[in-house]
């Protein structure tokens, strides 16, 4: 029995790396970059041009604020309050209500492939916890005997968790959120980074910033072009490669590029990868021959929701859906490392 793990820390640097290429010497001097850790993710913000610290400080205050609002594990956050409500109505911030409504819109569009009530399954699989556990050699050895029993939930456990996964139990009226199933819980992990990236962009534009890169753990949003007027080149990581192994690069200006991949958070057992993108139809990690899906669009929240959803939908249904949407493009990578682009995805 062969088991291995993904380093969770390495996952923070995986997905997309912003490859800014070479910029002119003077432009490079006019660059400010700051890194922090929010919502389980390494965040890097890079501002170009002549700026004082106000805009950068403002971004990090916003990140702090959104983490306190949207984290599932911070006591008293909006999401925490909703999950503790046991079916009672919960009043949340405008932003949380707005984000949940957007999430529901993408659940409807994808026929439930994207579903924020996935929480009981996320907890049951605990991919991240098991990945860290397996990173500890002693624990791995101790597991030898009954590894499969310990790592893979039983059919009964999956059925029981699945019975509380249903986005139609979530209702939003104004800023009041109600879960009609008292045992349902929401998890915005598949969409929050995109939403926050859009809010940071809005804020930076209001501060007069004309050129910037916002990178929330590989969820990239851009403002304008590089200072020399050329497009940003956002690198897409080779699945299971090192974080600097780039399989393709997407040129964009003022747009967002977001990737969902199996290699970000997973463990492996007997040659099967068990990863963090779960199929609400089966209760198992989505298993359809894909290793990553990248979405390109102006809106990062759209990219984030659709990258997760298309990963679940698979190459055929996912690309069919993307072709029906204006100004959204996708790149699918399959297990044999073949790249499939929708009609408008840049070569």
Give the interface segment with ligand ADP, choosing from 141-149, 151-159, 303-311, 322-330 (CB under 6 A).
303-311
Strand boundaries in 135-223, DSSP class E? 170-173, 176-179, 212-216, 219-223
Q: Minimal distance in Å, beta carbon 46 to ligand ADP?
A: 19
The reply to whether 304 sits near Mg ion by the rule CB under 5 A is yes
In 254-287, which positions are buried (b, 16+ CB within 10 angstroms) versus exposed (e)? ebbbbbbbbbbbbbbbeeebbbbbbbbeebebbe
**Which of 6, 92, 100, 118 is the binder for ligand ADP (CB under 6 A)?**
118
CA 30 vs. chain centroid, Å, equals: 30
The reply to whether 262 sits near Mg ion by the rule CB under 5 A is no
The reply to whether 277 sits near ligand ADP by the rule CB under 6 A is yes
Nearest residue relative to Mg ion (C-beta)? 308
The reply to whether 187 sits near ligand ADP by the rule CB under 6 A is yes
Give the interface segment with Mg ion, choosing from 60-68, 186-194, 230-238, 317-325 (CB under 5 A).
186-194
CA distance 165 to 135: 30
CA distance 22 to 248: 17
The reply to whether 308 sits near Mg ion by the rule CB under 5 A is yes
The reply to whether 303 sits near ligand ADP by the rule CB under 6 A is no
Nearest to 23 by CA among 233, 220, 197: 233
Contacts of 115 (CB under 8 A, 6+ apart): 107, 165, 166, 167, 280
Helix (H) or strand (E) holding 324: helix 300-324
Closer CB to ligand ADP, 201 or 276, in the complex? 276
The reply to whether 115 sits near ligand ADP by the rule CB under 6 A is yes
The reply to whether 308 sits near ligand ADP by the rule CB under 6 A is yes
**Which of 189, 239, 283, 318 is the binder for ligand ADP (CB under 6 A)?**
189
Closer CB to ligand ADP, 280 or 314, in the complex? 280
In 172-195, which positions are buried (b, 16+ CB within 10 angstroms) versus exposed (e)? beeeebebebeebbbbbbbbbbbb
Dmax (CA) for the chain in angstroms is 62
Q: Minimal distance in Å, beta carbon 215 to ligand ADP?
A: 12
Question: What is the pattern of x (binds ligand ADP, CB under 6 A) and - over residues 146-185?
Answer: ----------------------------------------
Q: Minimal distance in Å, beta carbon 306 to ligand ADP?
A: 10
Radius of gyration of the chain (CA): 20
Contacts to ligand ADP by CB under 6 A:
114-116, 118, 122, 187, 189-190, 260, 264, 276-278, 280, 304, 307-308, 312
């Amino acid at each position: 029995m062969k088991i291995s793990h993904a380093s969770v820390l390495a996952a923070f640097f995986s997905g997309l790396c912003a490859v800014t290429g070479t910029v002119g010497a003077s432009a490079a001097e006019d660059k400010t970059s700051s890194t922090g850790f929010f919502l389980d993710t390494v965040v890097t913000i890079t501002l170009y041009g002549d700026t004082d610290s106000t805009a950068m400080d403002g971004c990090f205050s916003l990140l702090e604020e959104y983490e306190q609002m949207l984290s599932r594990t911070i006591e008293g956050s909006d999401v925490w309050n909703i999950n503790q409500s046991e079916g009672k109505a919960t009043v949340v911030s405008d932003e949380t209500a707005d984000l949940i409504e957007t999430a529901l819109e993408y659940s409807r569009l994808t026929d439930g492939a994207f579903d924020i009530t996935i929480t009981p399954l996320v907890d049951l699989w605990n991919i991240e916890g098991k990945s860290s556990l397996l990173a500890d050699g002693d624990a791995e050895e101790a597991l030898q005997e009954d590894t499969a029993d310990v790592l893979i939930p039983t059919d009964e456990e999956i059925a029981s968790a699945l019975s509380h996964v249903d986005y139609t139990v979530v209702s939003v009226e104004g800023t009041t959120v109600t879960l009609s199933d008292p045992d349902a819980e929401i998890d915005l992990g598949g969409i929050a980074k995109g939403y926050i990236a859009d809010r940071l962009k809005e804020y930076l534009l209001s501060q007069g910033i004309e050129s910037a890169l916002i990178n929330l753990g590989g969820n990239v949003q851009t403002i304008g072009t590089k200072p020399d007027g050329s497009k940003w080149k956002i690198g897409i990581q080779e699945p299971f490669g090192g974080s600097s192994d780039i399989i393709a690069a997407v040129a964009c200006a003022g747009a967002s590029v977001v990737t969902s991949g199996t290699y970000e958070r997973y463990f492996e057992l007997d040659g099967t990868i068990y990863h963090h993108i779960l199929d609400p139809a089966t209760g198992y990690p989505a298993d359809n021959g894909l290793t990553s899906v990248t979405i390109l669009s102006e809106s990062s929240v759209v990219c984030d929701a659709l990258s997760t959803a298309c990963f679940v939908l698979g190459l055929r249904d996912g690309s069919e859906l993307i072709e029906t949407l204006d100004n959204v493009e996708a790149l699918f990578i399959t297990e044999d490392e073949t790249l499939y682009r929708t009609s408008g995805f840049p070569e």
